[in-house]
């Protein structure tokens, strides 16, 4: 199993550009999440999904869109990038079963918005 | 609201020293508690977890005990190694189907172990 994969690893954008961060998992997990990591703030939840076709907002959703058309994939879209979105983005998944609430994280995407 | 507070870093220790990283939480109900570790340039990996009061999680020589009375989940290791240098995150998740897949993280504590 590859686990949780993310692409790209690094990205530089100009203000106003759009892009999609890709996330995929091969563990048949129902639950997937996107977090952003900023210095001194830990990780904060952007959006999450409890299954294909179902998404919801986390703590910091503004400026980001998500969709979940398949169990495996959970892309994160930045419609109009802003410097405040410079961060490291992590995708995570979990089966959500009782006593199996461990989240598995991807390697991250480091995004810089100029 | 629900939150996690960790001791500020960085923490710098010599090899074989004793490690404590403090973590306290505020939560409605009784959450599950986690310690995640992030090695340089990598994603987060689960280090250990505890799902109810008085449970002790342990892994790779690290341990933490879920203390309901002090709302704490301090991370300890008796003898650290250079390879333990990383960022450590304390986190909680609330029970219930509406909370599955959501973690609330502390700020992270950077540990540097010198030979």
Where b means 16+ CB within 10 Å and e means fewer, B53-64 reads eeeebeeeebbb
Q: How much of chain A exceeds pLDDT 90, in percent?
A: 85
> What is the per-residue pLDDT for A33?
95
Residue A85 main-chain phi, psi, to 5 deg = -95, 5
> What is the per-residue pLDDT for A2?
80
| Gap from B68 CA to chain A (nearest CA, Å) | 19
Mean pLDDT, rounded, for A21-29: 95
Provide the 8-state DSSP code for B22.
Answer: -
Mean pLDDT, rounded, for A70-86: 96
Preceding omega of B10 cis (within 30 degrees of 0)? yes
> What is the per-residue pLDDT for B91?
94
Q: What element of type H or E holds B93?
A: strand B86-93
Residue in chain B lying closest to A110 (CA): B41
Mean pLDDT, rounded, for A4-18: 96
Cα distances (Å, whole numbers) of residue B5 to B24, B26, B50 = 5, 9, 17
Across the interface, of A32, A90, A99, the residue whose CB is closest to B44 is A90
Contact A44 B49 (CB under 8 A): no
> How far apart (Å, rounded) are the C-alpha atoms in residues B99 and A50?
10
Which token pair is B87?
Answer: 């960022």
Across the interface, of A31, A102, A108, the residue whose CB is closest to B49 is A102
Contact A45 B102 (CB under 8 A): yes
Across the interface, of A40, A50, A107, the residue whose CB is closest to B43 is A107
- Mutate one of A36, A43, A92 to test the B interface: name it (highest B CB count within 10 A): A43
Q: What is the per-residue pLDDT across B30-73, written as a single tens digit (0 to 9) for each?
A: 889 999 999 988 889 999 999 889 999 999 999 999 999 999 99
Which comes out higher in pLDDT, residue A96 or B113?
Answer: B113
Q: What is the per-residue pLDDT across B63-101, written as a single tens digit (0 to 9) for each?
A: 999 999 999 999 999 999 999 999 999 999 887 767 777
- Mutate one of B94, B101, B103, B105 to test the A interface: name it (highest A CB count within 10 A): B101
């Amino acid at each position: 199993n590859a686990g949780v994969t993310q692409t790209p690893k690094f990205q530089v954008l100009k203000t106003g550009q759009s892009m999609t961060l890709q996330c995929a998992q091969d563990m048949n997990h129902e639950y997937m999440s996107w977090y952003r990591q900023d210095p001194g703030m830990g990780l904060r939840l952007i959006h999450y999904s409890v299954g294909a076709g179902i998404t919801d907002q986390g703590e910091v959703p503004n400026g980001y869109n998500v969709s979940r058309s398949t169990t495996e994939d959970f892309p994160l879209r930045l419609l109009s990038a802003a410097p405040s979105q410079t961060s490291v983005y992590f995708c995570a998944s979990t089966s959500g079963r009782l006593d199996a609430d461990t989240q598995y994280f991807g390697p991250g995407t480091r995004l810089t918005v100029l | 609201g629900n939150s996690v507070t960790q001791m500020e870093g960085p923490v710098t220790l010599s090899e074989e020293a004793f490690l404590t990283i403090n973590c306290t939480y505020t939560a409605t109900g009784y959450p599950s508690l986690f310690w995640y570790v992030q090695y340089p340039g990598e994603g987060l990996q689960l280090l250990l977890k505890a799902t109810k009061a008085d449970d002790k999680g342990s892994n790779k020589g690290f341990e933490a005990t879920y203390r309901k009375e002090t709302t704490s989940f301090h991370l300890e290791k008796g003898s650290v190694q250079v390879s333990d240098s990383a960022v450590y995150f304390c986190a909680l998740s609330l029970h219930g189907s509406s909370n599955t897949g959501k973690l609330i993280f502390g700020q992270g504590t950077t540990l540097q172990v010198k030979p």
